[in-house]
């Protein structure tokens, strides 16, 4: 699993990349009440703002960590935004991407480096 400085996690699943945000991020955001996900089929570029999450405190944008095509989004999270507070690293994944360029993965942090980053 890889991590971005935007507190996203990226997990490889076959030739797809599953993207979510970390438990640390959801703890900082507080209770999450709204999630807006991209549409399946969207072609996205790295750093596009493709997810909006709102907590009781504020709205935040989530950036696409890679170029690629959105092939699946987590409708359960849209239905129950609180999932993000309950299981940020698992059930509350945001979207699955078919990446067209995996090279940024090399720049992202591994778990040890991310732990250091948030310490």
Name the phi and psi angles at 110, rounded to 5: -85, 180
CB of 95 to another protein, least distance (A): 18
Name the phi and psi angles at 35, rounded to 5: -135, 130
CB of 108 to another protein, least distance (A): 27
Q: Where on the chain is the footprint of another protein (CB under 8 A)? A: 30-31, 33-34, 36, 52, 54, 56-59, 78
Q: Any idea how long the chain is?
A: 119
Q: Which is nearer to another protein, 48 or 54 (CB)?
A: 54
Q: Whose CA is closest to 8, among 81, 70, 54, 64?
A: 64
Q: Which is nearer to another protein, 18 or 82 (CB)?
A: 82
104 burial type by CB count under 10 A (0-12 exposed, 13-18 middle, 19+ buried): middle
Q: Which is nearer to another protein, 52 or 113 (CB)?
A: 52
CB of 15 to another protein, least distance (A): 32
């Amino acid at each position: 699993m890889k991590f971005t400085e935007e507190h996203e996690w990226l997990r490889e699943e076959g030739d797809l990349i599953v993207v979510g945000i970390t438990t640390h991020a959801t703890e900082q955001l507080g209770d999450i009440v709204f999630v807006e996900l991209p549409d399946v089929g969207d072609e996205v570029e790295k750093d596009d703002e493709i997810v909006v999450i709102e907590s009781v405190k504020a709205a935040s944008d989530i950036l696409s960590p890679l170029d690629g095509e959105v092939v699946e989004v987590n409708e359960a999270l849209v239905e129950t935004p609180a999932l993000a507070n309950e299981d940020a690293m698992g059930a509350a994944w945001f979207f699955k991407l078919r990446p067209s360029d995996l090279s940024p993965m090399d720049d992202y942090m591994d778990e040890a480096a991310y732990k250091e980053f948030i310490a």
